[in-house]
């Protein structure tokens, strides 16, 4: 049985919930109260010594980090459509995962965390102008790709799209306006029409 240790408002946790839903995988959600410090208990740190969410337990195999979990689920349960096996296809997925982990995380995600008053250092130490500049870079790169393609890495949806989607779709919560990026907006609507789509938190 798949167990997901989850923070409901986290975009990184939502990515995993979304992929689990799209793959139609039976799973149990275990919400962790980070404000109460449940992610710093000895029990939780045995699952993830970094004290971060999400954490996936697939019948005793424990993984942390949203990107690693996406790769695992796609490869084990999703087949070639979600994670291409050929060198070029795999590399194209990985480059979008890298964008999400850099400009996406430190731009879009950090702007949102800061605007929502997240007390952790990731949000507290954010420079809103730097976040905005990185967010604009991410959105422009996405726009250029999506203006000519339905999906980021291939001719069909992959985990590249799932990884990049949440913080783009929730950009408004970080005071980032995606209205100027028409192709990005169309892409977010395309994802929301996927079978078994799970609404944003």
Residue 127 confidence (pLDDT):
87
**Residue 159 in contact with residue 72, Cβ under 8 Å?**
no
pLDDT above 90 covers what percent of the chain? Answer: 89
Question: Does residue 115 sit in the same domain as residue 45?
Answer: no
Residue 121 confidence (pLDDT):
54
Any domain includes 199 = no
**In total, how many domains does the chain have?**
2
Residue 122 confidence (pLDDT):
65
User: Angle, nearest 10°, between helix axes 159-169 and 128-146?
Assistant: 130
Q: What SS3 class is residue 60?
A: coil
Any domain includes 123 = yes
| CATH code at position 102 | 1.20.1050.10
Cis (ω within 30 of 0) for the bond into 54?
yes
What span, in angstroms and rounded, lies between the C-alpha atoms of 163 and 151? 12
What span, in angstroms and rounded, lies between the C-alpha atoms of 66 and 73? 10
**Residue 69 in contact with residue 14, Cβ under 8 Å?**
no
Average pLDDT, the chain: 95
Residues 152-171, mean pLDDT to the nearest whole number: 98
| CATH code at position 50 | 3.40.30.10
**Residue 160 in contact with residue 153, Cβ under 8 Å?**
yes
Residue-wise burial string across 34-47, b where 16 or more C-beta atoms lie within 10 A, e elsewhere: beeebbeeeebeeb
Any domain includes 201 = no
Which residues constitute the domain of residue 66? 2-78
Per-residue pLDDT tens digits for 53-98: 999 999 999 999 999 999 999 999 998 889 999 999 999 999 999 9
Question: Does residue 149 sit in the same domain as residue 181?
Answer: yes
pLDDT-based confidence at 119, cuts 50/70/90? low
Any domain includes 97 = yes
Residue 126 has pLDDT above 80, yes or no: no
Question: Does residue 91 sit in the same domain as residue 123?
Answer: yes
Per-residue pLDDT tens digits for 1-17: 999 999 999 999 999 99
Residue 116 confidence (pLDDT):
87
Question: Does residue 106 sit in the same domain as residue 73?
Answer: no
Of 44 and 120, more confident: 44
Query: What Å distances lie between residue 56 and 1, 30, 109, CA to CA?
Result: 11, 10, 21
What span, in angstroms and rounded, lies between the C-alpha atoms of 201 and 190? 18
Any domain includes 42 = yes
Residue 117 has pLDDT above 60, yes or no: yes
pLDDT-based confidence at 189, cuts 50/70/90? very high
Question: Does residue 151 sit in the same domain as residue 128?
Answer: yes
Question: Does residue 72 sit in the same domain as residue 108?
Answer: no
Q: In the chain, count H helices and then E strands.
A: 9, 4
pLDDT-based confidence at 123, cuts 50/70/90? low
Question: Does residue 171 sit in the same domain as residue 93?
Answer: yes
Question: Does residue 142 sit in the same domain as residue 174?
Answer: yes
């Amino acid at each position: 049985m798949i167990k997901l240790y989850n923070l409901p408002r986290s975009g990184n946790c939502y990515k995993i919930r979304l992929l689990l839903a799209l793959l139609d995988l039976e799973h149990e959600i275990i919400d962790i109260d980070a404000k109460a410090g449940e992610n710093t208990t000895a029990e939780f740190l045995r699952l993830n010594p970094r004290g971060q969410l999400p954490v996936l337990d697939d019948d005793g195999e424990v993984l942390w980090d949203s990107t690693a979990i996406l790769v695992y689920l796609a490869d084990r349960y999703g087949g070639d459509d979600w994670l291409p096996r050929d060198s070029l296809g795999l590399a194209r997925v990985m480059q979008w995962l890298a964008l999400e982990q850099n400009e996406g995380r430190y731009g879009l995600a950090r702007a949102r965390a800061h605007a929502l008053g997240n007390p952790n250092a990731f949000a507290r130490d954010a420079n809103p102008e730097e976040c905005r500049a990185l967010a604009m870079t991410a959105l422009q790169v996405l726009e250029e790709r999506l203006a000519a393609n339905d999906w980021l890495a291939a001719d069909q949806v992959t985990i590249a799209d799932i990884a990049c989607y949440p913080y783009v779709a929730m950009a408004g919560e970080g005071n980032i306006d995606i209205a100027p990026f028409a192709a990005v907006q169309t892409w977010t609507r395309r994802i929301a029409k996927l079978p078994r789509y799970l609404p944003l938190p």
